[in-house]
Structures are given as structure tokens and as C-alpha cells.
Structure 1
Amino acid sequence: MPNSFANLSPLTQAGPVRVLLVNAGEAEALSWSALVQPLRLAQRLLPDGLQLEVCTLAQAAQPLPEQHPGWQLALLVGEEGARDPDPALCRAAIERCRQAAFWGAVGAGVLWLAEAGAVGGVRIALPWSLYADTEDVPSRAILIPQLYVIDGRHLSCCGGAASLDFSLTLIEALFGAALQAEIKEALCVERVRGPEERQRVALQARFGALQPKLSEAVTLMETNIEEPLSTDDVANLVGLSRRQLERLFKQYLGSLPSRYYLELRLRRARQLLRETNHSIVQVGLMCGFSSGSHFSTAFGALFGNTPREERQRKLAAS
């Protein structure tokens, strides 16, 4: 689990963790149900450790009782494709959520935070299909194509099925791997996708119409893993200057091209270590690392463990 999510663990030191979930959509919507069900199970299994409160937009806009202790973690949840919420109610819900120590949104709720200017300069995991809707947002957030992210005290998740992975990751960060494992077993979940994993959609669908040059650049990177191109090579091949390419990556992916490319290769290496029997040396070479020490160092910096430890986890699991 990335170190940033480990920052949530101190919330458990002052008694039960108080969590608020504001549902701006239907109760059966996937983003909502996938988020709330693991947390409800956690509350049932750990009644003295978690206090979960759920409410609608209208309820979130109501004044709190004078002695209400507030929440330590709060999320605004909206389903992609649903009708836009009442602006006044949405603003009130955002203000309610931002009073928590850690707060943010899931699904379309992430877009509402951006439109409200609440996440300027913050890395957010917005559903890819809503990227075009951010063009007129005055206070730009940093859009990343990952499933979910924590940036400082801000949490965001692209919603849909990723809400389940996000919820289970929050449970592990707050209450440990044992409780998460118990809930995974109850829900018949085999694997929790990490925040480093990307939204699994075609690049053309995610960026094509909005930024075709960016889409082309990332496609070049994805198809040149074993023999990586230089940033200048990528820029020349898509018809941009190096500075223009770096500006696009910074604006839409929150990263420099070289860093994004490195993480792309490392994610591929992690997949190979988990899913194949290639040796660690072979995996490094297949992902463009001629130096074993460079591969190990870069892998550890991104994932928090070495390629050897990753392979040992695979062997232990099997």
C-alpha cells in the first residue's frame, strides 16, 4: 500500500473513526454501493472502531446539532451520467465534507469539486469520460488516469467498480490487512487493485478527442517498453517541441513525460512479476532496464518493495 494512504492510520488513535458518505445519486448506483458495502461490513465487524454515517445531498445541507463531533473522513459520491445536482445543495455538501481531516469525492463528485474550485493544483482521479467537462473549470486540478488517489488531505476515486478497490484500501489503511482480508472473503473479492493502476479504457477514448497529441505520445510509450524512446524522440514523432510535450503531460497527467514513461515500464514489470515465470533479470530487460540495480531501485521507489520481494509475494500467494 502506498505510503500516502498510510497517513490515514493516525485517525484510529483518538477512538472510533467517524466517516461521512454523502450520496448524490441512487442507492443502487455502482459507485455508491461498491463504496459503502465494505465500510458497512467493517462497521459490523468493528463496531467500536468505525462510526459510519450516510446521508443525501439535502440532509448534508442541514445544520449540525451543536454537540456534533464532526467527521474525520468525508466523501461526496456522484454517479457518472446522473443529472447534475442542485448547485446550492452541492456547495453545502462540499462545505460539509471539507471540514473533515481527510475529504474528497467519488465518481462525478470529483468533477463537482473541480467545478467548485475546491481542488486547484490537486491530483485527482476523475472518470475519463468527464475529462472534457473540465475545460471550462477555472481552478484546474491535475488529472491523473489512475483508479484513485490521495493527495495531502484530498481523496478521489473514479467510481464505478473502482469504488470497491478504493473502499477496501481505506479499510486496510485504517484498520489493517486482517480486517480487509475478512471483508474480501465475505464479498468474494480475490484481489484489490492498487491506486497505481490505471483506468482500463482505450487511450483514444480517454484523451483522443481532447488531446490527440497526448494520446499519440502515450501510445508510443506503451508500444516501446523494451527499448524506451527518449523524450525528444517522442516529441519529434508526435510533432511537438519537448517543452510543449512536457506542458501537456504536466497539465493532464500531473507528471513529466520521462517520469510517466518510467512508471509505465515499472507497472508493466510488476505485472510480469505477478503473472509470469520470467526471471527478475528477464523482466527488467523486457521493460527497458539494462541495469539490475537501477531496476530494483526504481521499482522500490514507486512500489515500496523490491522486484525480488514482489516475486516472493506471488510465490507465497500461490
Structure 2
Amino acid sequence: MSTLLRKATQVEKADVPRRFVFLLLDKFTMMSFAGALEPLRVANRASGVALYSWALAGEGGLEVRCSNGAAFKLDMGLDEIEREDVVLVCGGLDIQRSTTKNVLNWLRREARRGVVIGGICTGSYTMAKAGLLDGKKATIHWENQDSFLEEFENVKLTRSIFVMDGNRWSTAGGTSPIDLMLKVVATDHGENLANTVADQLIYSSIRTDQDTQRLSIPTRIGVRHPKLSQVIQMMENAIEDPMSPADLAEDVGMSTRQLERLFRRYLNRSPKRYYMELRLQKARNLLMQTDMSVINVALACGFASPSHFSKCYRSHYNTTPYRERGTQGMPSPGIGVRLSI
């Protein structure tokens, strides 16, 4: 690294590196974990100082596999850590299953000792299950938001890419942990170092906790039409109590026939069909991610009866809600690769 770069990122030598303990849950997401870890490594390299250290922890203390099947060797089990450490709970697929009693007890114990604890991707679910997010602002991957809201009413869930509410942090997964850790580096050692880390990662647009995680509706659907976007937003906000096409059309100042033509032209389906697909997608998320009864899932998605729900679900997904739930937790083939960090 050039002398000029070292001067630009010069920081005072830390007496003790700030340590991050990554709690790797079974089937955690590799991308989100790497997004949290790599900024720490690059900060050390860019500054020429050991500002941060880290350890990989997990139940059993031996190894854990991430969602793509790669195995990671662990540094420790659920051992007592220092109060100055930061715990980052790295979740991914089948988060309910990997949120074990031992993990919950460990998190509660460390929380009582005042340790900063954060959730990566679906790790926020595990924190909430441990009661660590009650009354706190938090976020989780958009795909898990519906089920999270149903289960944890005392958490102030947001759609931000990351949240730092006192000593409780959370991120939405994907690349959002990079933004969280750049914020940490900036707070600890200044914006210059954080910007240098971002440059090294070729991360050209640093986001803040004011940024939301999902693409805008026009970007998602590939159409820039203000009234169409407005109607879709209304649909997404009224899943449990669906609005009629006539009411949707009236609220955006057009006739029902005009609304039909708008959806046919840009989305090749009727408003009713599009709305049904939104509701069924939420239903599938709830079936796969919660223990809610099929009847309660149907009600949460605006279906008046389980029979109607089952009929619509079968028509769209070619299976019944009951069978869908039965396919949860099917083992995925492991990948014969072993990684150690």
C-alpha cells in the first residue's frame, strides 16, 4: 500500500482490537456474513493497524455449514465472551430450526452482561425470539418481514437496510451488512478510513439507515407509470383486507375499465389476478416461515375461508397449503468443500 494511502487512513494504534464474535447458525447466508467480516479485514489492512479481530462461534464449537453447503471451521462454541465484544448473529435458511434453545439461552446471558448484539440477514429473528428486540427498532430481509410481523408484535420493524438501536443492531441481509460495518468503521475511526474501505471493496454507493431495502415498484415491475405504481403500493399495503378493483381505480382517479387496460398493457394480467398473486406470495412466506395455522394464514392474506384459500393456492402453486408446509426443511445436498477463515 502506498505511503499516501497510509497517511490518508492513519489512525491511532488501538490498545486492544475491537472483537466481533460471529455466531454462525446452521444454513447461514455466506454473502451477508462476508459482507460483515470483510470490511473489518480491509480496515486493518488499510490502516496498517489491528483495529479489529474476530472469532467464529457456533453451537457445538466444531463446524457449521452455510446455505450453499460450504463448511466453516469454528473457533469456539457458546462460551462466555468479553463484555466489550460485539456478537453478530448470522442467519439464513430455516431460521426457526437453527434458533435452538442453547442459542437463545446464550444470547440472553450475553445480553444481560451488556454485550452489543446484532442480527445479520435472518439473525434478527433469533434475536427477537430471545426477547432482545422488544421495544426496539429492527429490520430483517424483506422476504421474512410478513412472518416477523405476525410473530413479534413488540418489535418496531422497519424496511431499512440496517438499524442501530442502542446496543441492538440488525441488517436486512444481502449486501446490507457492508453498509452497517462501514458505519461502524466511520464511527470508530473516521469517515476517511470508512471511505477507503469502501473503495477497496469497490463499493461505490454507501447507504445509510435511511435507505430502504427493496427496489422501487417501477424498478421491480420494469414499468414507470405513476398510477400503476400507486395502485400496486395500495395492494401491497392491503393484503389482509383486499380492496376491490373499483375502489383502487377510484382512489387513483380512473375508471375500473381504465385500470383493467393499464394492467393488461403493462403486466399482461388483470388487477384481480395480480392482487391474488401478491396475496398468495405472502401466504407462501407465512406457511414456510411461521408456525401459524393454515386457517390463520388464510385470514392474514384476505381469504374468507380455508377452502377458497386452498383452491386458489393449488391453482397457482400446483400444491395445497398443507403439502407446502410439509416440504419445509427438506435436506439440501452438501458441497464437498471445507473453508477456514
TM-score normalized by structure 1?
0.54
CA spacing shift, 1:205–1:52, aligned 2, 3 Å: farther
Aligned partners of 2:28 and 2:93 also within 8 Å: no
Aligned partners of 1:78 and 1:108 also within 8 Å: yes
Q: How does 1:120-269 map to 2 (within 5 A)?
A: 120-137=134-151, 140-201=154-215, 202=217, 203=233, 207=237, 209=239
Q: Pick the structure with more helix per residue.
A: 1
Aligned partners of 1:35 and 1:164 also within 8 Å: yes
User: Cα RMSD between the aligned structures?
Assistant: 3.4
Deviations 1:179-201 (A, max 9, x none): 21221222111121111001124
1:21 counterpart residue number? 22
1:95 counterpart residue number? 108
2:44 counterpart residue number? 43
CA spacing shift, 1:88–1:101, aligned 2, 3 Å: closer
1:63 counterpart residue number? 79
How many Å apart are 1:42 and its aligned residue?
2.1
5+ residue gaps, structure 2, are 1-12, 62-75, 218-232, 253-341
Aligned length: 203
Aligned partners of 2:21 and 2:86 also within 8 Å: yes
How many Å apart are 1:81 and its aligned residue?
5.7
Task: Please tell me whether Structure 1 or Structure 2 has the larger radius of gyration of its CA atoms.
Answer: 2
Aligned partners of 1:77 and 1:105 also within 8 Å: yes
Quote the Cα distance in structure 1 between the aligned partners of 2:44 and 2:28: 19
How many Å apart are 1:130 and its aligned residue?
1.2
Aligned partners of 1:73 and 1:101 also within 8 Å: yes
Aligned partners of 2:59 and 2:78 also within 8 Å: no
Quote the Cα distance in structure 2 between the aligned partners of 1:19 and 1:205: 41
How many Å apart are 1:46 and its aligned residue?
4.9
Quote the Cα distance in structure 2 between the aligned partners of 1:211 and 1:110: 28
1:77 counterpart residue number? 90
Aligned partners of 1:169 and 1:192 also within 8 Å: no
2:133 counterpart residue number? 119
Aligned partners of 2:139 and 2:157 also within 8 Å: yes
How many Å apart are 1:50 and its aligned residue?
1.9
Quote the Cα distance in structure 2 between the aligned partners of 1:13 and 1:114: 33
Deviations 1:265-294 (A, max 9, x none): xxxxxxxxxxxxxxxxxxxxxxxxxxxxxx
What is the percentage of aligned positions where both structures have the same residue? 17
CA spacing shift, 1:28–1:137, aligned 2, 3 Å: closer
Deviations 1:182-232 (A, max 9, x none): 21222111121111001124457975535768xx99xx99xxxxxxxxxxx
Quote the Cα distance in structure 2 between the aligned partners of 1:205 and 1:156: 28
5+ residue gaps, structure 1, are 1-11, 222-318
Deviations 1:146-186 (A, max 9, x none): 11111122111111111121121211111211221221222
TM-score normalized by structure 2?
0.51
CA spacing shift, 1:183–1:142, aligned 2, 3 Å: same
Deviations 1:213-271 (A, max 9, x none): 8xx99xx99xxxxxxxxxxxxxxxxxxxxxxxxxxxxxxxxxxxxxxxxxxxxxxxxxx
CA spacing shift, 1:210–1:106, aligned 2, 3 Å: farther
The one-letter amino acid paired with 1:167 is: M
The one-letter amino acid paired with 2:41 is: R
CA spacing shift, 1:200–1:62, aligned 2, 3 Å: closer
Aligned partners of 2:108 and 2:132 also within 8 Å: no
Aligned partners of 2:88 and 2:118 also within 8 Å: yes
The yes-or-no answer on 1:52 pairing with 2:82 is no
Quote the Cα distance in structure 2 between the aligned partners of 1:42 and 1:204: 43
CA spacing shift, 1:125–1:83, aligned 2, 3 Å: closer
The one-letter amino acid paired with 2:25 is: A
The one-letter amino acid paired with 1:38 is: P
How many Å apart are 1:132 and its aligned residue?
2.1
Give secondary structure in 2 for the equivalent of 1:51: strand
CA spacing shift, 1:28–1:122, aligned 2, 3 Å: closer
